[in-house]
Structure formats: structure tokens, C-alpha cells
């Protein structure tokens, strides 16, 4: 039964990824505006040059393998078309070449931006999970207390604040005014480091403010959901039993209420971790963080189809995988799900 | 119990993962030399490529200007000054030029730089023009038009110290060709067809003052002093162009002293910076403008586009467009939209091109009443409810589109809609993204199969130009319809003048023709040039002195030539830093971690990633271990259940 469950989930995940690959192709080509026009606002541009560029980028080929036209009635099969060459290349691991960065492989373009985002959002998630769960469970446990009111209030405020609203004041105060941290970037450009530790320190100083922004922005959702989850478990019979046994309040919370309240959180965390790669576009923009979010924005305005497809593929695959992991972990934690 | 075991296992895995990551970390760390003097320059443009033939961006041009020389460079007032060639002379018949290549000049890698390199570079453009029967084909198409316009037919380098170029007209435009000289010993196997796609990996080898040694997309381009540079060596050992996502972040970085120069602030930011200590602002005249382009499709030809084209035939009438010109208060636009930074628009050659710009012979002034009278006189009457009618008695309602690339466009559009409204002409405005708008203004001529319909009335957008004025004249030619024309204007008389100005033997004669052309466009008004934009830059004065505007009403950087970089001096000259050892620092090769040899493509963030993962691994592992011990220690409690 276990292997059947696993098999079903894996098949679902693979099916979803294939659908995404197809959707990726259609989605960006449905946008008005074509890449060669975006790139070439040139007073000397000739139709011949446009044709040349379209050919070089494979945009002259028909989009689909089959074309049907009503007026005049026509039907043709296109052996050379954008769709099949895209699917073939994608599944062989070739994401193509960036239009915007003039032929740089997409894997290289994404590779440069991948780790900065993972580090920033990954650390941000870890901090937010730890702090959010702590605030949420304590507030829920002490429902109605002053701590609850302050904790929930702060959580709600943070939850509703976009990253740039959190980030800009941090820059103004801690970077521009006090000068404790650099305003932006990931490393001091052009710096020569005496040792690896120096470089790590420089990185840490650059990371501090964006990390604070991202974690502050994420804490809200964790603490709010954790709080309600704890409140639910508080009313459960086993909690009453535990109290009746004479366990201390702290023991009841940490051993009985908290682990059970974590069940819904596992799903939330797993799904959120899927979005780590998607990053936080506004936070990256404010702090000039060279991540995937800003790459996506740039690629979008340049109609850089290959990069967009690559980024979206990466994002969707991580989200699908994170969901798969959530399903599996959940099944492991809660045997009822397996049957 | 189950879970504790799981945690313990997890902890071990994480710990060993941390160790494994540590093991693959870099064995040696870079060792610091004497601190080089670094000039940091901020911009909001994300560079696209280091290939000079393929870049479309100002920042890309800045990168190749620093790395390479032009055959003839730009001086303080954009006049021709020695570059790769240190002198030149024209033959008596005006059809042949001899350029003397600098004696003993070396590429940054130490190889001799000779006329062969110059010929190779120019030949690429000449081949491209010949093979494609026209220009605009080399790379992104911005490089070869310079040679095509100058009428260069052939180059000869039989003598290593001279390059002889023959032209089919006797003009002087050959001295203003924006064409980098690249080293033949590196690019010699490339042809005109392949050079645009060639990967120009840093470090570049050039003869310019600073060589690009590292480029990280979305982050920075680093340049190091070229020890073999023939001109004045700049004070900075290194120039870093830092790329920002927003001007706000960039301004904060300037205030905090993280960058020395910023390019592309807005008026509010510039005003706020004026009161900062050690910061100076500059509003330099930009070589470009913001315009309203009227859709005049069908003028002269009578062609129409089914389901597209201008919404009223009035747009094809020069008298109608002329009348509209009196209803635009350009002073208000400059004051309210640009915050006072910019110049009132008139003709299609920006005033920064002092050599070519003329003011119109019959200038218009802002006068709504006069605009109304002119419309009435031209046969455009008002109906009973105050709507202006075209000659077929249909109310005139104009659709104005603009790209989302500039916040000032929608502001200007609001003013214009209000002024036109006073004439009885309703204007609807819409912001589109640049790609969409670029296609929207295309007529069927661009590609008969693609279904383009030029379905707009007014396009509000801008252009920026080269030193030579051919570009801004070109877009009004009949054969630009379907490519660069966004007014669909066609006037055979104008086209004839275009060819004449190209062939004019002297600059004075050329200017007379170009003056005529500027007046034709101003009078017939397919364009209403609203204003000449300004480049709003700012720089710190506490580290570097000697900031130098090129031209004198321009900005120090992101302009033509590299004087703004090489003229900088030490602002703290009283206690000079150990800059005397600079050449040695410049001579050291680029640091080992460049995009060229990083392999993995993750650039210099790799060690950090590894370091970060190690830290996470160890911390999480430690935490889980502790939890396990903790769980074991309280086993008694569990037993109570």
C-alpha cells in the first residue's frame, strides 16, 4: 500500500511537471510584443536584419507542429517547429540561450542568480520559521494575554507589509544614516579579501538587512497559522489528560500541544520552501540582490523567452517537488493519510 | 523514540554533509595586495553583453569605450581627437584618408597594436555592408551604419603604421565613426557574420584606459587599469560599474559613500542630493529627446490599412499637425514633468550636437487661441457640442500610446490631453510595455505576413542618438516605414536632401542641408519634439577630484569618450595613499575567480554558498544532536505517560 501511494504521488508530480513545460511554452508566446522588436529599437533597423535575427533565434519556424487555417482552408504538418524542438531540448537538459544576454546559455544565466536567492530566502525562511513558530505557539497557548495581543498584533502588521515597506526604512536607518551595513549588493564590488573569512564577513554584512527584511516579512504567516493551530489543539482531550496527569504547563505545550499543532505547519513549511527559489522579487529589487527575482523581471521586459522558460521551469519543479515532499512527510507523520 | 532515532540519523547526515561541503571548499583564499584605488560607478542598466557589436545599452557602450579605442576618438567637445590613430590626413580629391597608427602601441596583453588590427576591425563592417547590400547587419546593427554613412568602400594596410581608407564621397564623416578597434590576434578567425555572436569573455584585451576583467550579470562589471594605455593614466587603478535595480537604492549607496558616481537619478532625487555634503549633482544635456510621433501613414501614397492606421485623415494634414503644435506648452512640460531639468524641444537634431542643431525658422509658441484659429482656417470646425470635426465631419478623437519605460511619459500625456481637449479634441492615453508598443506602431510593410496594422494616432516615446546626426534624420525617410519610422512619414524631397547631406564635401555645406531638413520636419510636424531630456547624474567629491563634463554641457561619464575617467585625480592629495604602486596592481592579472574560469557559472558566490551550507549543516546538525540528548535526558518524563 505504501509503494502504491508513493507511486501515485510520483506519477502526479511528473504529470504536473510535463503540463508545466507545455504551459511555459504557450504562456510567454501569448504575450504581445516579440523579442526581436524589444531588443532592436534601432534607427537603422531593416526588415532584412529583423528576419536574420528571427532566424538566428529560431523564431521564424512555425510555433506548433500542425497548422490549421480556416481562410483559406489549409492544413500542414511542420517538421521544424518551435514546440517540439523546445520540448526535446528541455528534456535533454538544454534550456537554450538567452536573448537578452546575447547567446549566454540559460543554465549559466540562471546559475549565477540561483545561489544568492537560495541563501537569502533560505536563511530568511529558517529564521522566520523558528521565530514565527515560537511567537505563534506561545501566543496561542496564552490566548488573550498581553503577550498574545502584542505578538498577534505584530504578526498581523508584518504579514500585511510588503517587503519594500520593511526594507526601505531599514536601509535609511541602518545603512544610510548609521552606516552599520552596506545599502545594497551581495559583496563589496572590487574588494580584495585577505582571507576567506574576510569575504564571509563582507557577505554577512551585505546579507544582514535583506535577511532581516525577508524574515520579518515571513514571520507573520507562520505565527498566525501556528497560533490558531495551537488554539485548536488546546481544546483536545489529550491536552486535558496531560494536564490532569499533573504535567507542567510548559511540558504540556512542548510535548503534547506543539507536536500535534505542527501537523498543518509541516504542509505550510514544505509548500513555502518550494517558493524559496521564486524568491522575493521586491526584497531583491530594494537591496539590489542579484537573485532570480530580479532576473525574472529583466527577462520579462526583454521578452527573453528562453530565460523565462528556464526560470519558470525551475520554480515549478521546486514547488512540485516540495509538495511531493510535503505529501510524503505528512503520510509518514500521520498514518491516516496513507490509507 | 522513533523520532529521536530519526533526528539522530538526520543530524549525522547533516554533519557529514557539512564536512563534505567543507572538503570541496576552496583550498586557498586570495591574498590581499596593497589596496588599489577603486572608482565605483552606479547605473540602473543591467548590462547585456561585453560584445561591442551586440550590446544595445548605454552601459554596454561604456564598457567597450573603456576597453577599446575608436580609430578617431571624441574630444572635450566631441570633436575628432587622436585615438587608435594619432594623426590623419585627407587626399586632395577628398576620397582617400590616411590614418597614422600610433607608434609602439601595445594591446593590454603586450602584443603590438598595428594598422592590421584597424584594418581587420573596419573590414568586418565593410564586409557586412557589402554582403548584405546595406548596413545595420553587424551584430545588433549599430556599428556598421557609421561606416556606411561615411561612404567607406575599402581599407588598405599594406604599411603596418598606416591605414588608408577610400570613400565614395568626399565628406568628413569618416572621423566620427563609432567603431571599436579590436585585436586581430584574438578575433582574427571571426568574420562579419560571426563576430556579433562571438563571446567576449572578460578579461578583454584592448587599447583603452581600463580593461573589463570581470562581469557578473545584474551585479557589476570590473575594469582594471591597462598598463599599456598610450594616453594619460587615470588615478583609479580599478573602475567598477555597479548595477542597481532601482535608482532609490543607488542614491542611498552614493550617500553612504559606497559608490563615487551615479548615472540616471530622477529630478526629486537630484534635488535632495544637492544639500548633501561632498556630493555634486550634474544635469547634462542628453543626446536625445522625448517626442509625440503622429501617425501620418498614407501621406503622399494614399495607402490605407484595413482595420488600422490613423483614426482620422486629419493626421495626414500638415496644417492640422502644425495647429496642434501651438497647443503644447513646452515650458510647462519641462518645469512640471522634468522638474526643470531639460530643454524645450524644437527640431530633430538635439542642441547638444552644437555643430548641427538649428532653431526653427518659424517657431511656434504656446497659444491655444491661435491653435483654434489655425484649425478653423484649415477646415476643422467645431460641432454644436464642442467637438472638433475632421473634413468628413467625424469628431476627432486621438489615441495616444506610450511605453512603461519612463514615469515622465504619462505625466506629459496628461498635460497634452488637457491642452488638446481645449481645442475640442479628445485624447485617450494608454501605457503599454515597450515590446507591445514597438509592434503596435509597425505598419504592414514591416512584415506582410505578421498582420501589423500601425493602429495608433500618437506615439509618445523617445530616442537617443550618436554624435553624427544621420540617425535622427534617417527615421523620417520613406524607406524607414516598416522599420524604424514611428511617424510613417514619407517625403521624397526630404529623402533627396538626406542623400545630399551624406555626400556634402564640407561640414559647412552639410550643415546647410541638415538645417533645411530640420525645418521641414519642424514645419510639417510629423513629430512634435516635446523636450530634450537631461541625464541626471551625481558624484562624490571627497575621494576623487577633477570631474570633467564631456561635452561641457554633458556629464563626466556615460557620454562619448573616456576623458571623464582618465582626468580624475586624488581628492585627498594632501596625504597621498600608496597609489604610486598602482601600475603594479594594474599589471597583475585578473583575480582567479572570473566568469571565464569559474566553470560552474555561479561566479564568485560559490565559496560563499559552500560556506553558507557548511554553517547551516553544522548548526542544524548540532541542534538536532542536542535535541536528541535532551530527549534522552528526560526519558523519565516520557515514561510517566
- Give per-residue pLDDT as tens, A115-163: 888 889 889 989 998 999 888 888 888 888 888 888 888 888 888 888 8
| Residue A126 CA from chain centroid, whole number | 14
Q: B99-119: string of b/e by CB count within 10 Å (b at 16+)? A: bbbbeebbbbbeeebbbbbbb
On average, the pLDDT of chain B sits at 83
User: CB distance from B602 to chain A under 8 Å?
Assistant: yes
- pLDDT over 80 at B587, yes or no: no
What pLDDT shows up at residue A339? 57
Closest residue in B to A174 (Cα) is: B256
Look at residue B291 and tell me whether its pLDDT is greater than 90.
Answer: yes
Q: Is B18 exposed, middle or buried (0-12, 13-18, 19+ CB in 10 A)?
A: buried
Q: Which residues of A touch B220 (CB under 8 A)?
A: 189-190
Q: Using 50, 70 and 90 to split pLDDT, how confident is the model at B282? A: very high
pLDDT for the residue numbered B611: 55
When pLDDT is averaged across residues B609-629 and rounded to a whole number, the result is 54
A159 beta partners: none
DSSP secondary structure letter of residue A210: H
Subunit contact B602:A168, Cβ cutoff 8 A: no
Assess contact for B360 and B308: CB atoms under 8 A.
no
Is the pLDDT at B590 greater than 50? The verdict is: no
Is the alpha carbon torsion for A78, A83, A85, A91 positive or negative? negative
pLDDT at A338: 63
Q: Does the CB of A328 have a partner CB in chain B at under 8 Å?
A: no
Mutation site, B435, B446, B600, B616, interface A, largest A CB count within 10 A: B435
Inter-chain touch A33–B602, beta carbons under 8 Å: no
**Which bin fits A51, alpha (ψ -120 to 50), beta or left (φ > 0)?**
alpha
User: Which is more confidently placed, A275 or B183?
Assistant: B183
CA B230/CA B207 separation, integer angstroms: 8
Q: Half-sphere exposure of residue B83, counting CA atoms within 13 Å on the CB side?
A: 30
The answer on pLDDT for B632 being more than 80 is no
pLDDT score for B484: 85
**Mean pLDDT of all residues in A19-42:** 72
| Predicted confidence (pLDDT) at residue B462 exceeds the cutoff of 80 | yes
Cell 597621498 sits at which residue? Answer: B576
Within 10 Å of residue A80's Cβ, how many Cβ atoms?
11
Cell of B246: 532601482
H helix runs in chain A, sequence order: 2-29, 35-39, 47-56, 82-91, 106-141, 146-160, 163-170, 196-234, 237-244, 249-251, 258-274, 281-286, 292-301, 305-333, 335-338
Residue B90 pairs in a beta bridge with: B97
Chain A residues with CB under 8 Å of B463 CB are 43
Write the residue in A49, A183, A184 that is nearest to B137 by C-beta.
A49
How far apart CA B435 and CA B404 sit, in angstroms, is: 10
**Residue in B54, B249, B258 nearest the CB of A102:** B54
Q: Which of B235, B182, B239, B190 is nearest to B210 (CA)?
A: B239
CB contact under 8 A, A298 and B46: yes
User: Residue A49 burial (CB < 10 Å; 0-12/13-18/19+)?
Assistant: buried
Q: What's the predicted TM-score (pTM) here?
A: 0.78
Length of chain B as a residue count:
641
**Interval A236-269: pLDDT, tens:** 888 888 888 888 888 888 888 887 888 878 878 8
Burial of B431-451, coded b for 16+ CB within 10 Å and e otherwise, reads: bbbbbbbbbbbbbbbbeeeee
Alpha helices in B344-405 (DSSP H): 368-377
pLDDT of residue A282: 82
Band (pLDDT 50/70/90 cuts) for residue A36 is low
- Find, among B562, B636, B523, the residue nearest to B212 by Cα: B562
Q: Which of the residue ranges A8-17, B158-167, B601-610 has the most confident prediction, judged by mean pLDDT?
A: B158-167
Residue B22 is predicted with a pLDDT of: 36
CB B457 within 8 A of CB B399: yes
Question: CA angle, B361 as apex, B356 and B363 as ends, to 5°?
Answer: 110
For helices A305-333 and A82-91, give the axis angle rounded to 10 degrees. 50
> CA of A222 to nearest chain B CA: how many angstroms apart?
20
Start-to-end C-alpha separation, chain A = 8
Residue B7 has pLDDT above 80, yes or no: no
Query: Residue B417's pLDDT is what?
Result: 96
What CA–CA distance (Å, rounded) separates B416 from B427?
Answer: 8
Which of B46, B45, B548 lies closest to A98 in space, CA to CA? B46
Of A39-43, A107-111, A310-314, give the lowest mean pLDDT range.
Answer: A39-43
pLDDT of A278 strictly over 70: no
Contact state of A285 with B245 under an 8 Å Cβ cutoff: yes
Cα–Cα distance measured from residue B424 to residue A251, given in angstroms and rounded to the nearest whole number: 79
**At B141, is the pLDDT very low, low, confident or very high (cuts 50, 70, 90)?**
confident
SS3 state at B374: helix
Q: In chain A, which residue's Cα lies nearest the Cα of B479?
A: A46
**What is the pLDDT, as a whole number, of residue B624?**
52
Q: What pLDDT does residue B111 have?
A: 95
In chain B, residues 192-231 whose CB comes closer than 8 Å to chain A: 197, 199, 216-220, 222
Contact A186 B605 (CB under 8 A): yes
Higher pLDDT, B297 or B178: B297
Distance of alpha carbon B465 from alpha carbon B353, whole angstroms: 10
Report d(CA B115, CA B97) in Å as an integer. 14
Strand pairing category for B38-43 and B238-243: parallel
Helix ranges (H only) for B382-430 are 408-422
Q: What is the largest CA-CA distance in chain A?
A: 86
Task: Give percent above pLDDT 70 in chain A.
Answer: 91
Cβ–Cβ < 8 Å for A286, A167: yes
The pLDDT value given to residue B32: 43
pLDDT at B603: 39
Among A323-332, B71-80, B541-550, the range scoring the smallest mean pLDDT is A323-332
Q: Which of A1-10, A165-174, B201-210, B418-427 is predicted with the least confidence, judged by mean pLDDT?
A: A1-10
State which residue of chain A sits closest to B55, comparing Cα positions.
A102
Mean pLDDT of all residues in A191-214: 87
pLDDT number for residue B6:
39
pLDDT over 70 for what percent of chain B? 84
Compare all CA atoms of chain B with the CA of A201 and give the residue at the minimum distance: B608
CA distance A149 to chain B (A): 30
Distance from chain centroid for Cα B220: 16
Mean pLDDT to the nearest integer, B12-26: 37
Residue-averaged pLDDT of chain A: 82
**Which of B478, B368, B485, B495 is CA-nearest to residue B419?**
B368
At residue A318, the pLDDT reads: 85
User: What is the SS3 assignment for B194?
Assistant: coil
Angle at A297 between CA A294 and CA A302, to 5 degrees: 125
Q: What is the DSSP letter of B175?
A: G
In sequence order, what DSSP letters do the residues of B32-98 get, joined into one string? P-SPPPEEEEEESPPP--S-TTT--SHHHHHHHHHH-EESEEE-TTS-EEESSEEEEEE-TTSSEEE
pLDDT category at B604 given cuts 50, 70, 90 is very low
Nearest to B49 by CA among B595, B585, B559, B563: B595
Helix axes A196-234, A163-170, angle to 10 degrees: 130
- Across the interface, do B218 and A104 touch by the CB < 8 Å criterion? no
Look up the ipTM and state it.
0.76
How far is residue B372 CA from its own chain's centroid? 40
Does the CB of B564 have a partner CB in chain A at under 8 Å?
A: no
- For residues B51-71, give the mean pLDDT: 91
> How far is Cα A243 from Cα A80, in angstroms, rounded to an integer?
72
Per-residue confidence at A81, pLDDT binned at 50, 70, 90? confident
How much is the average pLDDT of A86-107?
A: 80
B49 contacts in chain A (CB < 8 Å): 101-104
A44, exposed or middle or buried, with CB in 10 Å at 0-12, 13-18, 19+?
buried
State how far Cα B425 lies from the chain centre.
Answer: 36
Per-residue pLDDT for B273 more than 70? yes
Reported as a single tens digit per residue, the pLDDT across B206-251 is 999 999 999 988 889 999 999 999 998 989 999 999 998 888 889 9
Through-space distance between the first and last CA atoms of chain B, rounded to whole angstroms: 13
Which residues of chain B neighbour A52 with C-beta distances below 8 Å? 137
Residue B559 has pLDDT above 60, yes or no: yes
Of B25, B51, B217, the CB nearest to A109: B217
- Which among B467, B351, B532 has a CA at the least distance from the CA of B75? B467
Query: What residues pair up with A67 in beta bridges, in sequence order?
Result: A76
What pLDDT digit, counting tens, does each position of B497-540 carry? Answer: 999 998 888 889 999 999 999 999 999 999 999 999 999 999 99
CB contact under 8 A, B220 and A115: no
> In this predicted structure, what is the pLDDT of residue B23?
35
Cis peptide upstream of residue A129 (ω within 30 degrees of 0): no
Amino acid at each position: 500500500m505504501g509503494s502504491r501511494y508513493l507511486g501515485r504521488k510520483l506519477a502526479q508530480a511528473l504529470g504536473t511537471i510535463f503540463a508545466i513545460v507545455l504551459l511555459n511554452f504557450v504562456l510567454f508566446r501569448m504575450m504581445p510584443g516579440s523579442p526581436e522588436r524589444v531588443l532592436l529599437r534601432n534607427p537603422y533597423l531593416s526588415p532584412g536584419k529583423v528576419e536574420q535575427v528571427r532566424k538566428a533565434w529560431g523564431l521564424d519556424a512555425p510555433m506548433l507542429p500542425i497548422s490549421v487555417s480556416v481562410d483559406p482552408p489549409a492544413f500542414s504538418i511542420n517538421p521544424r517547429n518551435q514546440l517540439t524542438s523546445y520540448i526535446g531540448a528541455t528534456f535533454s537538459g538544454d534550456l537554450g540561450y538567452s536573448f537578452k544576454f546575447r547567446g549566454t546559455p540559460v543554465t549559466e544565466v540562471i546559475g549565477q542568480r540561483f545561489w544568492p536567492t537560495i541563501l537569502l530566502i533560505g536563511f530568511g525562511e529558517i529564521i522566520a520559521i523558528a521565530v514565527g513558530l515560537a511567537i505563534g505557539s506561545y501566543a496561542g497557548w496564552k490566548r488573550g494575554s498581553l503577550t498574545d495581543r502584542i505578538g498577534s498584533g505584530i504578526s498581523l502588521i508584518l504579514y500585511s507589509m510588503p517587503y519594500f515597506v520593511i526594507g526601505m526604512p531599514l536601509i535609511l536607518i541602518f545603512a544610510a544614516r548609521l552606516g552599520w551595513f552596506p545599502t545594497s549588493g551581495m559583496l563589496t564590488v572590487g574588494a580584495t579579501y585577505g582571507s576567506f573569512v574576510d569575504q564571509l564577513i563582507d557577505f554577512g554584512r551585505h546579507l544582514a538587512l535583506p535577511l532581516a527584511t525577508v524574515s520579518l516579512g515571513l514571520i507573520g504567516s507562520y505565527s498566525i497559522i501556528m497560533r490558531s493551530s495551537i488554539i485548536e489543539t488546546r481544546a483536545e482531550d489529550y491536552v486535558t489528560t496531560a494536564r490532569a496527569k499533573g504535567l507542567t504547563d510548559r511540558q504540556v505545550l512542548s510535548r503534547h500541544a506543539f507536536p500535534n499543532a505542527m501537523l498543518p505547519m509541516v504542509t505550510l513549511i514544505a509548500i513555502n520552501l518550494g517558493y524559496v527559489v521564486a524568491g522575493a522579487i521586491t526584497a531583491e529589487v530594494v537591496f539590489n540582490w542579484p537573485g532570480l527575482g530580479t532576473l525574472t523581471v529583466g527577462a520579462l521586459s526583454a521578452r527573453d523567452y528562453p530565460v523565462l522558460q528556464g526560470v519558470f521551469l525551475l520554480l515549478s519543479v521546486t514547488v512540485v517537488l516540495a509538495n511531493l515532499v510535503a505529501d510524503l512527510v505528512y503520510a509518514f507523520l500521520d498514518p491516516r493519510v496513507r490509507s | 523514540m522513533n523520532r529521536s532515532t530519526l533526528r539522530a540519523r538526520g543530524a549525522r547526515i547533516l554533519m557529514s554533509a557539512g564536512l563534505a561541503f567543507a572538503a570541496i571548499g576552496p583550498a586557498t583564499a586570495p591574498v590581499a595586495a596593497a589596496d588599489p584605488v577603486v572608482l565605483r560607478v552606479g547605473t540602473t542598466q543591467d548590462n547585456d553583453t561585453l560584445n561591442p557589436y551586440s550590446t544595445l545599452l548605454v552601459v554596454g557602450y561604456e564598457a567597450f569605450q573603456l576597453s577599446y579605442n575608436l580609430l578617431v576618438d571624441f574630444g572635450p567637445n566631441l570633436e575628432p581627437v587622436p585615438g587608435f590613430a594619432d594623426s590623419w590626413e585627407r587626399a586632395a580629391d577628398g576620397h582617400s584618408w590616411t590614418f597614422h597608427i600610433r607608434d609602439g602601441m601595445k594591446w593590454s596583453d603586450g602584443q603590438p597594436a598595428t594598422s592590421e588590427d584597424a584594418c581587420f576591425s573596419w573590414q568586418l563592417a565593410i564586409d557586412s555592408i557589402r554582403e548584405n547590400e546595406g548596413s545595420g547587419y553587424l551584430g545588433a546593427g549599430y556599428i556598421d551604419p557609421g561606416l556606411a554613412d561615411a561612404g567607406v568602400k575599402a581599407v588598405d594596410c599594406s604599411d603596418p603604421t598606416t591605414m588608408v581608407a577610400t570613400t565614395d564621397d568626399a565628406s568628413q564623416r569618416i572621423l566620427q565613426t563609432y567603431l571599436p578597434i579590436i585585436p586581430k590576434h584574438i578575433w582574427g578567425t571571426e568574420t562579419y557574420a560571426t563576430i556579433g555572436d562571438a563571446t567576449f569573455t572578460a578579461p578583454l584585451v584592448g587599447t583603452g584606459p581600463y580593461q573589463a576583467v570581470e562581469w557578473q550579470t545584474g551585479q557589476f562589471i570590473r575594469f582594471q587599469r591597462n598598463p599599456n594605455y598610450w594616453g594619460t593614466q587615470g588615478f583609479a587603478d580599478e573602475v567598477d560599474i555597479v548595477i542597481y535595480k532601482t535608482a532609490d537604492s543607488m542614491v542611498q549607496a552614493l550617500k553612504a559613500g559606497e559608490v563615487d558616481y551615479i548615472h540616471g537619478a530622477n529630478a526629486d532625487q537630484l534635488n535632495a542630493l544637492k544639500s548633501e555634503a561632498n556630493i555634486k549633482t550634474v544635469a547634462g544635456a542628453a543626446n536625445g529627446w522625448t517626442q509625440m510621433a503622429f501617425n501620418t501613414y498614407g501621406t503622399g501614397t494614399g495607402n490605407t490599412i484595413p482595420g488600422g492606421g490613423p483614426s482620422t485623415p486629419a493626421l495626414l494634414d500638415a496644417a492640422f499637425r502644425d495647429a496642434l503644435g501651438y497647443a503644447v506648452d513646452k515650458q510647462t512640460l519641462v518645469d512640471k514633468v522634468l522638474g526643470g531639468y531639460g530643454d524645450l524641444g524644437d527640431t530633430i537634431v538635439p542642441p547638444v550636437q552644437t555643430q548641427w542643431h538649428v532653431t526653427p525658422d518659424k517657431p511656434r509658441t504656446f497659444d491655444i487661441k491661435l491653435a483654434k484659429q489655425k484649425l478653423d482656417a484649415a477646415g476643422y470646425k467645431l460641432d454644436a457640442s464642442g467637438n472638433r470635426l475632421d473634413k468628413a465631419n467625424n469628431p476627432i478623437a486621438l489615441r495616444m500610446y506610450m511605453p512603461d519605460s519612463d514615469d515622465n511619459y504619462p505625466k506629459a500625456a496628461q498635460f497634452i490631453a488637457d491642452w488638446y481637449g481645449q481645442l475640442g479634441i479628445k485624447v485617450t492615453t494608454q501605457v503599454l510595455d515597450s515590446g507591445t508598443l514597438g509592434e503596435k506602431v509597425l505598419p504592414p510593410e514591416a512584415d506582410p505576413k505578421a498582420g501589423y496594422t500601425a493602429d495608433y494616432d500618437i506615439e509618445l516615446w523617445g530616442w537617443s542618438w550618436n554624435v553624427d546626426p544621420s540617425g535622427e534624420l534617417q527615421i523620417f525617410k520613406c524607406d524607414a516605414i516598416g522599420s524604424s519610422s514611428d511617424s510613417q512619414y514619407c517625403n521624397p524631397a526630404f529623402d533627396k536632401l538626406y542623400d545630399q547631406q551624406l555626400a556634402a564635401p564640407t561640414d559647412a555645406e552639410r550643415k546647410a542641408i541638415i538645417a533645411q531638413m530640420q525645418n521641414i520636419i519642424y514645419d510639417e510636424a510629423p513629430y512634435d519634439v516635446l523636450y530634450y531630456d537631461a541625464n541626471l547624474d551625481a558624484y562624490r567629491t571627497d575621494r576623487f577630484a577633477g570631474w570633467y563634463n564631456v561635452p561641457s554641457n554633458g556629464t563626466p561619464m556615460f557620454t562619448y569618450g573616456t576623458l571623464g575617467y582618465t582626468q580624475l585625480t586624488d581628492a585627498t592629495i594632501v596625504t597621498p595613499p600608496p597609489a604610486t604602486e598602482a601600475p603594479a596592481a594594474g599589471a597583475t592579472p585578473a583575480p582567479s575567480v572570473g566568469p571565464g574560469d569559474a566553470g560552474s557559472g555561479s561566479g564568485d558566490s560559490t565559496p560563499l554558498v559552500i560556506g553558507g551550507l557548511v554553517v547551516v549543516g553544522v548548526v542544524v546538525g548540532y541542534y538536532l544532536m542536542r535535541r536528541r540528548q535532551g530527549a534522552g535526558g528526560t526519558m523519565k518524563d516520557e515514561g510517566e505517560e
